[in-house]
Structure 1
Amino acid sequence: MGSGKTTLARTLSSHLNIPFYELDNVVWKRFQSGDVRRSEKERDEYLQNIVRSNAWIIEGVHYEWVLPSFQQAELIIYLDTPYSIRTYQIIKRFVRQKFALEQANYQPTFNIFWKMFQWNSFFERPK
């Protein structure tokens, strides 16, 4: 989170005229009333439909179930953004979303904000 994945994907999509897909939106069906998680079968079929298309950009941090996209990709970009930059971006995004200056695919709660910090620090742990 906060590494610039979506910004880079959106920019490449615009410059190359290739559609981009956020993996979070492959996992979740988005509704006004709230998000509903797709079943693993639905999620995997959705990903397969994307990968079968002529051109695509996929962004996200999921890695276990996205193997088909790795196998079909012409290029994989890994962003290794410094922890401090990601932390700043998480704070900035949360504030912008709370003041409705930036749209969110989720309800920006303090619970989610805290989870973002936990996920961010988890990424720094030695594997």
Structure 2
Amino acid sequence: MVKIYIIGSVGSGKTTLARQLSKVLTIPHFETDNFVWSRQGDGDMRNAESVRDEQLLTAVRQINWIVEGVHTGWTERAMHAADVVVFLDMPYAVRTYRFVFRYLKQKARVERSNYKPSLSMLVKMFNWNRYFEETIKPAFLLQCETLPNQFIVIKNRQEIDRLINDLLTTEQ
């Protein structure tokens, strides 16, 4: 059994890591954004909290899973049910570069997105990145003091590679 909870700011690499782990471990991964939003062709609609919460519960009831996102509070069930909680604490400048580069690729239609890549969305990402750094990160780190044996902080690519290797070794 492998249950992994990944959190980090926009541009930290959550989705990329979740996809990698999902592929190498052959387990499903879930994005918390997709619990919050109902993806529709003409734009996203926010799910009711009850729908969001039920979708999260359905995911964490599975034998194996990876849940990733930036959300806190309502995702606590997944965090506490996880065997491993991974905090992607990439440098602020790296995250900023990544989401700006992602925005440019999405505008050029080289990369697909779950949302409409607009200038207002890019501005929101700058705001979310700063809010995460100043508010969410300190609160999350305090909360994770209660999970010392399952909590891992990742700050660079080498640590991601080591995590993947460790998880593969554990699975065998």
Q: TM-score scaled by structure 2?
A: 0.71
1:3 correspondence with 2:29:
no
1:109 correspondence with 2:92:
no
Alignment match of 1:121 (pick from 123, 127, 130): 130
Give the partner amino acid of 1:100. R
Give the partner amino acid of 1:10. R
1:5-60 alpha-carbon deviations (Å, 9 max, x no partner): 11100000000000001100011111112111110001111111111111110010
Task: Tell me the residue number matched to 2:103.
Answer: 94
1:86-109 alpha-carbon deviations (Å, 9 max, x no partner): 010011000000010000100011
Distance in 2 between the 1:34 and 1:121 partners? 26
Secondary structure at the counterpart of residue 96 of structure 1 = helix
Structure 2 unaligned runs (5+)? 1-9, 139-172
Give the partner amino acid of 1:118. N
Q: How does 1:1-127 map to 2 (within 5 A)?
A: 1-125=10-134, 127=138
In the comparison of the two structures, how many residue pairs are matched?
Answer: 127
Misfit runs of 4+, over 3 Å: none
Distance in 2 between the 1:54 and 1:122 partners? 34
The CA deviation at 1:125 is: 2.1
Name the structure with the higher strand share.
2
1:56-91 alpha-carbon deviations (Å, 9 max, x no partner): 100101011011111211111001100110010011
The CA deviation at 1:121 is: 1.6
Secondary structure at the counterpart of residue 76 of structure 1 = strand
Distance in 1 between the 2:29 and 2:12 partners? 17
Distance in 2 between the 1:36 and 1:67 partners? 23
Q: Which has the higher mean CA deviation after the structures are superposed, 29-38 or 81-90?
A: 29-38
Distance in 1 between the 2:93 and 2:127 partners? 14
Give the partner amino acid of 1:120. N
Secondary structure at the counterpart of residue 20 of structure 2 = helix
Distance in 2 between the 1:99 and 1:57 partners? 30
Task: Say what the alpha-carbon RMSD is for the aligned residues.
Answer: 1.0
Secondary structure at the counterpart of residue 112 of structure 2 = coil
Taking only the aligned residue pairs, the percentage that are identical comes to 46
Give the partner amino acid of 1:109. S
